[in-house]
Structure 1
Amino acid sequence: MIIDDQHYDVIIVGTGAGGGTLAQKLAPTGKKILILERGDLSPHENERWNAMDMVAKSDLPSADEEWFDSSGDRFRPHINYWVGGSTKFYGAALLRMRERDFEKVQHQDGVSPEWPLKYQDFEPYYTEAEKLYNVHGKGGEDPTDPPRTQEYPHQPVTHEPRMQEICEAISKQGLHPFHLPLGIKQNNRHNFFESPNIEGDTTVLNRADVKTNSEEVGVLPALKYANVSLKTKAKVVCLHTNSSGREVKAVEAEICGQSYLFFADIVVLACGAVNSAALLLRSASEKHPIGLANRSDQVGRNFMKHLNTVMVQFSSAPNKSVFQKTICVNDFYWGDKDFSSPMGHIQNTGNIVQDMLPTEAMPILSLLVKLMPGFGLRQLANHSIGWWLQTEDLPDPNNRVQLVGDKLRLDYTPNNTEAHDRLIHRWMDVLKAIDRSSDNSLFPWGVYPRSETPIQVVAYQCGTCRFGEDPTTSVLDINCRAHDVDNLYIVDGSFFPSSAGVTPALTIIANALRVGDHLIERLK
C-alpha cells in the first residue's frame, strides 16, 4: 500500500452535482483540498457525444460493474463515472422543490415525511445555485412555483414554432405550461440553437459544450487554485477511522491497480446515493460493526428514484424543432379534482431518435409502419414529441442498498404506483384532446407508446443516508455531518428524507453550497 505523504484539510470523494459544486465553494478558502474521482475526464474532443452513446460503449467504467436485484439477478446500472458525475449526462432541467415538498405530505400510498429544514432555509442557496449553473427560466408561470427572492439569472429558452403550438394547445385545456428551467451555457438562445454547428443535432442538450455541468462550473474552476488537486481513476474502497471510531483518519483508494491511503481532517462523500451508502457499509469495523455511521441501521435504506415514464406523441407533420425540451407542466403535481393526492410532474424529453422509441411498443409501431407506405421507424421518430412523466416514490426502509459478500444488492419495489398511473392516463387525455382539436395527429384514434424505467435506471437516486435531528432515525445531522463520525459529511442525494416530484439536481447543488458555508466556518 502506498501512503500519500500529504495531509489535506478536506478530501472530497466524487465530482457530481454535490462534490463538484462543493469543490468550487471551498477552493477560495486556501485550505488544502484533494478531490478523488473514480472516473476520468470525459472526451471533450468529440463534441457530438450523447448520453445514449456513452451508456452503450463497452469501454466505460460502468460496463464492468454489476449490481444485483432482490432476486439475486445481476444487472448493469445505467451509471457512468466521469469528472462531473451524472451532470455529464443529465438533461440540465434544474427545478426547485416546491415549498410544500419540505412538509409532511399525504400521498395515495403513504406519507412523504417532513424535512428538518424548510424551503426558506434552501431559498438563498437555490438562488446561488441558479446563478452558478446559468439557469434559464421565468418565475410566476407555474402555479406551484415557490416564492423566490430573485428572478432567474437568464431569460427562458424560447419555444420553437412547433413547441409553441403545443404549448398553446395545452393552455387551451385549462392547464398552465411553463418554460422548463434549464442550465445551459449560452445566454442568447438564437446564437446557440441556430448556429451551423447545432442545426440538425437531435441530441443537442447532451453535448459537452452546451449544458452546464459540475466539471466545468465546479471542478475546473476549483483546480485554478494551487491549494486544490484532483486524482482521477481513483476508486475509494474504504474509510478508516481512528481507535475511537469517531473520526475518519484515512481514505483508501485503488488507483491503476495500486492501493493508496490519503489523510485529511474532513472527508466529504459525494459518490451518489447508492455508492455513498455502499462505501459506508464496506467501511464496517469493530467500532462500526454494521457499517460506518450506521448506528441507526439507516445507511442504505429508503432508496428512492422516482417513478418515470417516457411517452411519445406522433404528429402528421414532421417535428423540425432542433431542441424541443422547453415545456413543463405541474398542474397535476398536487392532484386534481378527480384525484386529491399528488400525481407528479411532466416535461418534454429531448428530441426522439429511432433507438429511443419505447421497446414495449415496438410490435404495434411495426404494425403501424406496415400500414403506412413510405414510413419507417426513423420517420415515426421524426414525427414525434417526447414527454417525460415522473411521480414521487415514497421512502421505504425495505428499498435499500445492501452488501451481500462483496456484491452490491439494490432492493427496490416501486410504490405510489396508482398516482403515477393516474398521471399517465390524465396526460393521455390531454394529448387526445389536443390531437382531436387539430389536424396534426398521425394517429387520430390515439396512439401514445410509453415505456417505464427499469431498476437499472438510477438517474434520480436519493435517500440512502437521510438527514435529521434524531440520530436513531437518521444518518446525518442537519449540516449533513454523520451523527456518529465527527469529520464525515455527505453532499450527494443521499441526504433526502423524501424525493419530491421534481428532479433532485438543483436541490443537491443548493445543499452542497449550504454545507459549503458550514464547512468554511468550521475550517476557520
Structure 2
Amino acid sequence: MSDPVRQNYTPPELRPDALVSVGTAEEISTDVLVIGSGMGGSSLAWALKDSGLDVLVVERGHFLPREPENSQPVEMYIKGRYKNAGYWYDGSTGKPFAPGVYYWVGGNTRFYGAMLPRFRRSDFTEVQHHEGVSRAWPFAYDDLEPFYTAMEQLLQVHGQTGEDPTEPPRSKPYPYPALQHEPEIERFARSLRGQGLHPFHTPNALNISTQADRAAVTTADGCPDETGMKSDAENRLLLPALRDGVRILTGAEVTRLITSPDGRKVVAAEARHAGRIIRVNAKTFALAGGAVNSAALLLRSADDAHPQGLANSSGLLGRNYMVHNSTFFVGVNPLRTNPTKWQKTLGLNDFYEAGPGTRFPLGNLQMLGKLQAPMLKPARPWAPTWALKFMAARSLDIYLTTEDLPSRDNRVRVDGDRILIDWTPTNLAPHHELVRRVTRAVRKAGYPLIFTQRMGIETNSHMCGTAVAGHDPAESVLDPLCRSHDVDNLWVTDSSFFPSSAALNPALTIGANALRIAPSLARATKG
C-alpha cells in the first residue's frame, strides 16, 4: 500500500500570496471567479492576467505533488493513487462507475497525452454522418485560427505541416519541429505509406530531445509527469498566470450559484471549503469544471427565476452530452519486440472525412504513448502479469476515435449529490468500419494478432456538449461568445459549449476558445 498523496503540496515556483487562505472569513470577493483549473479555466486565467481585473480561480482539488509515483503505472492503474472523483451513475441502470476525470489543479491535462490537434475546418460546419448530422458551430475555423496559433505557442507544440491531407490552413508554422518517430514507428509509417495512406507527425506538447528524455516520459500518456517536459494547463498556463497576479483557492468545491432577485445576474457562489460553506462574491462568473460538472452545478442552482436550472430556459442544459466512440487497439507480433519509449508521434486522418471510398466520416487514428503491463491489467484482470508483459513488449498501441453525435436523450442529470449520465453511443457503424480498416492496415504492417477494447461510459475524458453555444436562445444555452443567453454575467469556458464533438482531442480547441472569449468577458466585467 502506497503512502497517501500529500494534500498540502505547492509547486516551488508558486508565489505565496497567490494561494488564497480564507481563514475564518465567511465570504471573499473578486472581480472574475473562474470555477475549475483545467484547460478552459487555466487558459482563461492566463488570458485575463494583464486585464487589470482581480481574477480568482477556485479548484475543488489541490496541487498534485511532483513525486516518483507520478510515472509509475502500478501506482496509477493498479492502486488508483490519483483517482479522486468518486462515482457517477449510469442513468439507465443506476450502477455507479468511476469516471475518467481528476480533481487536481490542471484538471485532466495532468494525465493527458499532450496530443494537441486543431479541429479540421469541416468540424465547424454541418456534416452528414452515417447516423445523423453533426451540428454547425456558431463561429468558423477562421475565427478561432489566431487563438489556435497562440495556444500552440503557449503550450510549446511540436508539429509538422504538409503531411495530413485534412490539415486546415495556418497563419504560422508550428513553434517547434515535430517529434521524430522511433525506428519501429517509422517502420509502421513506411508500411502505411506503401498502402497508399498518409501518416503524419502528430502535434505534441512534449519537450523531449534525447532518448533519455523519451524514457523519462514513457508513461506520460495517462500518468502525471513529474519532469515538467509535458506541457499541461498547470505548468504552462496557470502557474504563469499566478505569477502575474491571478489568485487560486484550492480544496473548494462550488456547490451552488446564487442569483439576484430578478435572476439576471449571478451575485455569489457557495463552496464547501475546509469543512464549512463559504461565499464568493464576484462581478463575473466563468464555469470551467468540465462538461458534466459545469452542467450539474447549473442544474443544482435552480431557483424561482430559473426553476429548471440556471441558464436553462431552452431546456437543453445537460442535454447533447457527447464523448467519442473510442477503441484501444493493440497489434502484436510475438516474434518482434517494440522498444519504442514515446510512441505518440504518428497519426492518420485518411478516413476522417467523407471522400472516395469513404461515404461517411470514420474518424482518427493516433498512437498511444506506450502501453505497459499495469496499464493493460484493468482491461484484462484475468490475464497473468507475465503474459501482459510479453504482450506489451511486442505491441503496437493505437487509439481510434469516431465522432459521437449530439442527442437530446444523452444527458447529465442530478439527484441530490449524485450525478447521473444517460448515454447511448451514436454513430457506431462508422467506428466498426474504422476498426476494420485499421485492422487490415496493421496486419499488413506485420502485426498479425489484434486485440481491441471499446471504451464505455466511464471513459469520458473527451466529454462535451452539455451547454451548447448558438445564435438562437431557444436552441442553445450559450451565445457564440459562450455567455449565457439567460444570465448576463455567466460564461462557460470548458467543452460544454461544443455543438459537436468532432473526432479529435479537444484540449487545444478548449484553450483557444477561452482565449477568444476572454476580451469580451473582460470588457463586460469592467462595464
- TM-score, length-scaled by structure 1: 0.91
Gaps of 5+ in 1: 370-374, 436-440
Q: Deviations over 1:149-179 (max 9, x none)?
A: 1001110001111111111111100000000
Per-residue deviation at 1:454?
A: 1.4
Question: The residue matched to 1:450 in structure 2 has which SS?
Answer: strand
**Aligned residue for 1:465?**
467
Q: Which amino acid aligns with 1:518?
A: S
Deviation at 1:7, TM superposition (A): 2.7
Residue 320 of structure 1 and its aligned partner are, at CA, apart by 1.1
- CA-CA distance at 1:377 after TM superposition: 2.5
Equivalent in the alignment of 1:323 = 342
Q: What is residue 217 of structure 1 aligned with on the other side?
A: 236
From 266, 273, 284, the counterpart of 1:248: 266
Is the Cα–Cα contact under 8 Å of residues 139 and 151 in structure 1 kept in the other structure? yes
Deviation, structure 1 residue 398: 0.4
SS of alignment partner, residue 338 of structure 2: coil
| Cα displacement (A) at 1:266 | 0.2
The answer to whether structure 1 residue 87 and structure 2 residue 87 are counterparts is no
Matched, 1:433 2:433: no
SS at match of 1:176: coil
> Once the two structures are superposed, what CA deviation does each residue of 1:201-251 show, in whole Å capped at 9, x if it has no partner?
63145423221111111211111134x211101000000001000000001
Counting aligned pairs with the same residue, the percent is: 41
Q: 2:287 aligns with which of 266, 269, 284?
A: 269
Out of 508, 513, 523, the position equivalent to 1:511 is 513
Corresponding residue number in structure 1 for 2:352: 333
Q: Deviations over 1:336-366 (max 9, x none)?
A: 5443000000000111111333876788x87
Contact 2:90 2:96 in 1 (8 A): yes
> Aligned runs of 1:146-225 on 2, under 5 Å?
146-184=168-206, 186=207, 189-191=208-210, 193-195=211-213, 199=215, 202-205=218-221, 206=223, 207-208=225-226, 209-225=228-244
| Mapping for residues 80-479 of structure 1, pairs under 5 Å | 80-184=102-206, 186=207, 189-191=208-210, 193-195=211-213, 199=215, 202-205=218-221, 206=223, 207-208=225-226, 209-226=228-245, 228-315=246-333, 316-335=335-354, 337-357=356-376, 376-435=387-446, 441=447, 446-479=448-481
Given that 2:322 and 2:410 are in contact with CA atoms closer than 8 Å, whether structure 1 keeps it comes out as yes
- Answer whether contact 1:204 1:210 (CA < 8 A) is retained: no
Q: Label 1:154 to 1:308 Cα distance change in 2 as closer, same or farther (>3 A).
A: same
Letter in 2 for 1:237: T
Are the structure 2 counterparts of residues 48 and 262 from structure 1 closer, same or farther at C-alpha, using a change threshold of 3 Å?
closer
Give distance in 2, aligned partners of 1:3 and 1:416: 51
Over 3 Å counting, the alpha-carbon distance change for 1:65 and 1:201 in structure 2 is: same
- 1:55 and 1:80 in contact (8 A); partners too: no
- Cα deviation, 1:418-451, whole Å, max 9, x if unaligned, reads 000000001111112222xxxxx4xxxx320010
Tell me, in whole angstroms, the C-alpha distance in 2 between the residues paired with 1:507 and 1:41: 24
- Aligned position for 1:493: 495
Residue in structure 2 matched with residue 372 of structure 1 by the alignment = none
Contact 1:51 1:89 in 2 (8 A): no
Contact 1:361 1:449 in 2 (8 A): no
Tell me which moved more, 136-145 or 53-62. Answer: 53-62
User: Structure 2: which 5+ runs fail to align?
Assistant: 1-21
Paired AA for residue 46 in structure 1: P
SS of 2:128 mapped into structure 1: strand
1:521 Cα shift?
Answer: 2.9
What is the one-letter code of the residue matched to 2:308? I
Deviation string, structure 1 residues 32-57 (Cα, Å, up to 9, x no partner): 11110010000113374367734654
Question: Could you tell me whether the CA contact under 8 Å between 2:75 and 2:81 is conserved in 1?
Answer: no
User: What amino acid sits opposite 1:333 in the alignment?
Assistant: Y
Change (3 A) 1:148 1:54: same
CA contact (8 A) 2:270 2:277 kept: yes
1:438 maps to which residue? none
Alpha-carbon shift at residue 78 of structure 1 (Å): 1.9
User: Could you tell me the TM-score, scaled by structure 2's length?
Assistant: 0.90
The residue type equivalent to 2:467 in the other structure is: C
1:6 Cα shift?
A: 3.9
In 2, Cα distance between the equivalents of 1:75 and 1:362? Answer: 17
Amino acid of the residue matched to residue 418 of structure 1?
A
In structure 2, the CA distance between the partners of 1:461 and 1:362, relative to structure 1 (3 Å rule), is same
AA in 2 matched with 1:247: K
What letter corresponds to residue 102 of structure 1 in structure 2? F
| Alignment-derived partner of residue 8 in structure 1 | 30
> 1:63 Cα deviation (Å)?
5.2
Q: Deviations over 1:470-493 (max 9, x none)?
A: 001100001111000000000000
The secondary structure found in structure 2 opposite 1:430 is helix
Query: Do the aligned residues in 2 keep the contact of 1:170 with 1:434 (CA within 8 Å)?
Result: yes
Q: Distance in 2 between matches of 1:84 and 1:460?
A: 15
Matched residue SS, 1:11: strand
Structure 1 Cα separation of the partners of residues 230 and 294 of structure 2: 26
Q: Give distance in 2, aligned partners of 1:280 and 1:476.
A: 13
Partner Cα separation in structure 2 for residue 505 and residue 166 of structure 1: 27
| Equivalent residues of 1:319, 1:385 under 8 A apart | yes
Q: Residue type matched to 1:250 in 2?
A: A
> How far 1:69 moved relative to its partner?
3.0
Cα displacement (A) at 1:127: 0.5
Once superposed, what is the RMSD of the aligned Cα atoms?
2.1
Distance (whole Å) between structure 1 residues aligned to residue 71 and residue 518 of structure 2: 32
Does structure 1 retain, via aligned residues, the 8 Å contact 2:403–2:427?
yes
Judge conservation of contact 1:10–1:264 (CA < 8 Å) in 2.
yes
Pick the aligned partner of 1:76 from 81, 98, 108.
98
Over 3 Å counting, the alpha-carbon distance change for 1:29 and 1:50 in structure 2 is farther
What corresponds to 2:68 in structure 1? 46
